[in-house]
Structure 1
Amino acid sequence: MLSRVADSLYWINRFIERAENISRFLEVSNAMALDNPSGNGEPWLPLIDANGDRQHFDQSYPRRSSKDVRDFLLLDLDNPNSIVSCISNARENARQIRDVISTEMWEHINDLFWSLQNGEVLWREPDQEQLRTIRRGCQLFYGITDVTLSRDQAWLFSRLGRLIERADKTSRIVDVKYFLLLPVPSAVGGVLDELQWIALLRTAGAYQMYRQSVQQAISPISVARFLLLDPIFPRSVRFCLQEINDTLQRIQHKPIPGSPDDLECLSGQLVAKWSYVRIESLIDRGLHEVIDQLQTDLNQLHGLIQKSYFPTADLTPQVLSTISTDPSCSLS
């Protein structure tokens, strides 16, 4: 497969996954605002932090209202990580490789792109319905990809991009929300406390599966354990890392086993590190520091994938949301 094609497939899925995650974040925050209304945008600002865009946001929207957060993450074309920017970038990548992807994939991503243009009927719907439609549009793209694309390298690179983005976003939302949602002692166990933890789970699409898996009262530790270390939930960090490793092995398919290269080593080490650790150990070491290291590792993994498979891809550099907690640091 041409590196240019593999690069486009990888980034189409990263962008679609990113757009779906942001729509989910906004959808849950909208619902939370009804339970805990506020006159300013402070409760919404963790969404900006979760995407690593605080510096850009503060410069563009000094008022920092809830509407500013929504506009920045949903509509702002100057924000490369906004939903409309992600869908636009995904469509442009898909347009360049229309002969590789299925007709159904192209038609759906093209329809999704045009449905987000100014004046379209979507924007006359209530806010929650707009976000729900976008989220379902992204999820439908995954389904169309999985039922119309042969299980060859095209599908593997598509899956690889989706998994890396998903691991990144799950770790980000846990990192940002875990400390901000930890209540003062007097609020522990209160109604608002529980609503906030439910919101965190719903942000990751994990509430029902968490309830089935953890049949006890919601607690910060159990939520962090489920989203980071659950071996079978498809959005947990551990699950994504295992699937990333398996996908890379299928892409490389070495006929004769030999010494692992840097990409194999890092991928295998991440799986081992996150498969044989307890949440208590992660918390004792400092959950923020552990997640920050994970995001650095994911960043390095992306770099090695690009070096190994996309070195000659002649495309506009794609934007990868900031890994560091320092908003001035970024990777493209």
Structure 2
Amino acid sequence: MLSRVADALYWMGRYLERAENLTRLLLVTEDLATEIRGFNDKLAQEEWGELLAIFPVELRTTPGNGSESAALTYLSAFLASPTNPYSVLYSMKKARDNARAVREALTLEVFVTLNDAYRALEAAGRRRIEDVPAFRDTLSRDHGWCFLKLGESVERLHRAAVVLGVKLRSLGAPGPHKSLPVYYTQWRSVLRGLSSLENYRKTYGARMEPHSVIHFLVFDPTAPRSLRYGASTVKSHLDAISGGDELTPSGRLIGRIAARLRYDDMRVTTVDDAIPLVDEVAAEVAKTHDAIELMYFGT
């Protein structure tokens, strides 16, 4: 496969995943901020502010006083801003641009649906990526598909590690002045933000214990959004592309991450234990991305 085509499909997968992740985080943050603003408006504003740690960008408009004003500022900046490189609209535009560059590698259904989704978002504000079945149903499962899914899985793993790093630092242990109901509501929102609340409840029931949430989101081998599962998925796509050659630079990097997440679960028992690990995962996934670009795209 031409490196130009592989590069475009890889980034198309990353941008689509980024748009879906951000849409979900905006919905979850809005729900949480609305729930807590009545008795702790400052905390509600801080929840919105954490988006800047996850998606580092300079806002053109400074959030006003109060969480409702902050919500309008952040929703405007991250949902439909054409200039914010992390906004949903921007990600959809970049995904469409990459699709245009490799029109010959896509089915008509994929191209038309992606174009329609972008135009609907541009006009109306939101179109959920998971509601676009053409991506699942019409593309051949060839090398192009592998690069598309590789980009998606790299973005998902990296962003999950970044989100966890930000949220774990914010939550920590419940202090004497922290409301326990709010504290556990925040943990529930972390699970929702990573599409993991229902799967967590299937494993742990209604119990919302920080240690259990950390173990589930970092080490669970079957949870689709856990770091361990994500590293395994990236490795599987790289193996499919390289023919199982684990000696490639990207294969070695992701292999080390996957091995650590497979065997380090007993060493991580607290929030403080988990923070260095999720930071390391985020950094190593960024290096894996660089190795992928160098080897397959020549950049």
Q: Compute the TM-score of the two structures, normalised by the length of structure 2.
A: 0.90
- 2:217 aligned with 1:242, yes or no? no
In the alignment, does 2:256 pair up with 1:265?
no
Aligned partner of 1:199 in structure 2 is: 189
Is 2:297 the counterpart of 1:306?
no
Q: Return the letter of the residue paired with 1:41.
A: Q
* Contact preservation (8 Å) 2:254, 2:285: no
Q: Give the equivalent residue in structure 1 for 2:131.
A: 140
Report the 3-state secondary structure (helix = DSSP H, G, I; strand = E; otherwise coil) of the residue aligned with 2:105.
coil
CA contact 1:227–1:235 (8 Å) conserved in 2: yes
**Mapped partners of 1:278, 1:25: distance in 2:** 26
Q: Which residue of 2 aligns with 1:294?
A: 281
Match of 2:116 among 96, 107, 111: 111
> How much has 1:279 moved relative to structure 2?
5.7
Deviation of residue 196 (structure 1)?
Answer: 1.4
Other-structure match for 1:92: 97
Question: What is the aligned length?
Answer: 290
User: TM-score, normalising length from structure 1?
Assistant: 0.81
Please give the secondary structure, in 1, of the residue aligned with 2:255. helix
Question: How far 1:216 sits from its partner (Å)?
Answer: 5.6
Contact 2:174-2:180 within 8 A present in 1 as well: no
Q: Which runs of 5+ in 1 are unaligned?
A: 124-129, 313-332
Q: CA deviation at 1:62?
A: 2.9
* Contact 2:228 2:258 survives alignment (8 Å): yes
Contact 2:172-2:272 at 8 Å conserved across structures: no
Structure 1 position 221 matched with structure 2 position 211: yes
1:42 CA drift (Å): 2.7
Q: Secondary structure, in 3 states, of the residue corresponding to 2:214?
A: helix
Determine the structure 2 residue equivalent to 1:16. 16
1:120-139 deviation digits (Å, cap 9, x = unpaired):
3x34xxxxxx4xxx3x3x11
Instruction: Name 1:251's counterpart in structure 2.
Output: 241
The percentage of aligned residue pairs carrying the same residue is 28
1:71 shift after superposition: 1.4
User: Contact (CA 8 Å) 2:173, 2:271: kept in 1 or not?
Assistant: no
Match runs of 1:157-172 below 5 Å: 157-172=147-162
Change (3 A) 1:201 1:250: same
Cα distance between partner residues in 2 of 1:159 and 1:261: 19
Aligned CA distance change for structure 1 residues 34 and 155 (closer, same or farther; 3 Å): same
For residues 224-261 of structure 1, what are the alpha-carbon distances to aligned partners after superposition, in whole Å with 9 as ceiling and x for unaligned?
1111111111111111111111111111116xx7x823
Q: Distance in 2 between matches of 1:287 and 1:162?
A: 24
Q: CA deviation at 1:187?
A: 6.2
What amino acid is the match of 1:206?
S
Any idea what SS the aligned residue of 2:103 has?
A: coil
The whole-number CA distance in structure 2 between the counterparts of 1:252 and 1:274 is 22
Q: Judge conservation of contact 1:41–1:69 (CA < 8 Å) in 2.
A: no
Provide the rounded CA distance (Å) in 2 between the counterparts of 1:276 and 1:189: 35
CA distance in 2, matches of 1:236, 1:306: 24
1:245 and 1:111 map into 2 onto residues whose CA distance is 32
- The 1:279–1:203 alpha-carbon spacing in structure 2 relative to 1, beyond 3 Å, is farther
Task: Measure the CA separation in 2 of the matches of 1:201 and 1:234.
Answer: 12
> Shift of residue 106 of structure 1?
0.6
Partner of 1:320: none
Name whichever of 273-282 and 207-216 sits farther off.
273-282
Q: 1:263 to 1:282 in 2, by over 3 A?
A: farther
Q: Per the alignment, do residues 275 and 115 of structure 1 end up closer, same or farther by CA in structure 2, a change over 3 Å counting? A: same
4+ runs deviating over 4 angstroms: 282-285
Give the letter aligned to residue 5 of structure 1.
V
* More displaced stretch, 219-228 vs 11-20: 219-228
Superposition deviation, residue 221 in structure 1: 1.4
Name the counterpart of 1:27.
27
Unaligned runs of 5+ in 2: 65-69
Is the contact made by 1:187 and 1:193 (CA closer than 8 Å) also made in structure 2? no
Give deviations 1:162-205, integer Å, cap 9, x for gaps: 00100111112211112213464346783222221111111111
Report the Cα distance in structure 2 between the residues aligned to 1:42 and 1:168, rounded to whole angstroms.
23
| Conservation of the 8 A alpha-carbon contact between 1:263 and 1:305 | yes
